[in-house]
Structure 1
């Protein structure tokens, strides 16, 4: 998340996001294409992780963001499932 949203390193999408990636944000299309299109244009965006929980192969990140949407600051939850390559 830091590499993608703070450093704007789009190569993280190939390294850490699986295909197909399920995007649950109503503001982005499914998959990684929405992130690939949105991240470079984020001006003044801030991502601040508040809590990160791990349970088995799931990681849940509660974060506060600003500069993502015209509605203002937001609290968001990202849920990731990690698995090793076979």
Structure 2
């Protein structure tokens, strides 16, 4: 499995299928987290998945790869009560996600945007 497919599979298993075992399959035990609300490792994220509301959903968008870095543009519906658009950035090594950064902002509908453009998906 290439790095893009690995990240897409891991994120889909975690956020769409809510499969906690995906952390053991795809993430390094020494996972480094740069999102300030989660500690290093996977325990913090693992604990947050079961507490997601029933109407939470994740929609993957564009995914790109540059060597061991994979970025995926996605929509998180009902993430802490809001719809958020994010770019999740992962470093991959030896078939495992070893490091994560993200850039996330609340989605603004196209009709409320000054430029009239939607934030997701990228066309």
Q: What is the TM-score of this pair, normalised by structure 2?
A: 0.62
Cα deviation code 1:45-69 (max 9, x no counterpart): 1111121001112111111111111
Give the number of aligned pairs: 84
Equivalent residue in structure 1 for 2:63, among 31, 35, 52: 52
- Determine if the alignment matches structure 1 residue 65 to structure 2 residue 76: yes
Q: Give the unaligned 5+ runs of structure 2.
A: 1-10, 96-123
Q: CA RMSD in A?
A: 1.5
Question: Which structure is larger by alpha-carbon Rg, 1 or 2?
Answer: 2
In structure 2, the partner of 1:2 is 12
Q: Give the unaligned 5+ runs of structure 1.
A: none
Structure having the larger proportion of residues in strand: 2
Q: Are residues 49 and 6 of structure 1, via their aligned partners in 2, closer, same or farther at CA, if it must alter by over 3 Å?
A: same
Higher relative contact order (CA 8 A, sep 6+): 2
